[in-house]
Amino acid sequence: MIRSENLRSGYIQDDVEEYLYQLLPERDAVVREMEDYAAENRVPIIGPAVARMLALFVQVSGAKRIFEMGSAIGYSTIWLARAAGPRAKVIYTDGDPEKARRAREYFLRAGVAKRIDVRVGNALELIKKTPATFDLIFNDVDKHQYPAALGVALPKLRRGGLFITDNTLWSGKAARPAAPDDIHTQGVQEFNRLVYASKELYPILIPLRDGVTVCRKQ
């Protein structure tokens, strides 16, 4: 079943990971199509195991205003929008117009297009320009941008809100010394240091798939 980097952690034992994915219920046709497209075209997505956890955090927190930093083809966006319900507003952001076009088509077919505001551009700049605050911010931009993403997202997160970041173990590389030219691993490591040092956040790093850090703003 594990056929692409979207479903592989890089540090969890293969048989354990296979077991985790075998437990998952079957996804609907649109979501499965997105998973297949991502695997065939090497588009990074969070995958169904992390997506279910993300949806659960939306449900238990009651999040209705959600900002997604780095949305690609909109896989995680659909899970967020479905979990948040028909009165929610999820802001999708990506710098690639073609990915945004494809995402719009998926949103229509998944029945959640009215809940999603699609914005094309730099996620860090877009969130700074967006008024008001959010109940939940999901961060999945380029890894070297992670420290800067934290800096711009935190003022936009309401007190008690959740800031969730994917890939925070970075195939296990976050736990090892980074090469001088490895800006992505350095970005993840600095981000992890910052969230655990912050007095504004209560973080936990969950070792699911590639690592997911969940922070609650105090």
Domain that holds residue 86: 51-217
pLDDT, mean of residues 155-167: 98
Q: Which DSSP helix (H) or strand (E) runs through 194?
A: helix 183-197
Reported as a pLDDT band with limits 50, 70 and 90, residue 17 is confident
**Overall number of domains in the chain:** 1
Does the residue 18 lie in any domain? no
Does the residue 175 lie in any domain? yes
Q: What is the mean pLDDT of the chain?
A: 95
Q: What is the pLDDT of residue 13?
A: 81
pLDDT, mean of residues 89-114: 98
Per the DSSP assignment, residues forming a β-bridge with 92 are: 118
Which of 133, 144, 44, 167 has the alpha carbon at shortest distance from 96? 44
pLDDT, mean of residues 90-105: 98
Place of tokens 């009651």: 62
Q: Does pLDDT of 5 surpass 70?
A: no
Place of tokens 């350095």: 186
Q: Retrieve residue 187's tokens.
A: 């970005």
C-alpha dihedral, 147 to 149 to 150 to 151, nearest 10°: 90
Q: What is the pLDDT of residue 58?
A: 98
Per residue in 178-190, pLDDT (tens digit) is 999 999 999 999 9
% of residues, the chain, pLDDT over 90: 90
Q: What is the pLDDT of residue 7?
A: 60
Q: Does pLDDT of 2 surpass 80?
A: no
Does the residue 58 lie in any domain? yes
Does the residue 108 lie in any domain? yes
Q: Does pLDDT of 6 surpass 90?
A: no
Does the residue 13 lie in any domain? no
Does the residue 40 lie in any domain? no
Burial of 132 by CB count in 10 Å (0-12 exposed, 13-18 middle, 19+ buried)?
exposed
User: How far is Cα 89 from Cα 190, in angstroms, rounded to an integer?
Assistant: 31
CATH number of the domain bearing residue 109: 3.40.50.150
Q: Does pLDDT of 11 surpass 80?
A: no
Q: Does pLDDT of 14 surpass 90?
A: no
Q: Residues 111, 116, 117, 121: is their CA dihedral positive or negative?
A: negative
Q: Does pLDDT of 66 surpass 70?
A: yes
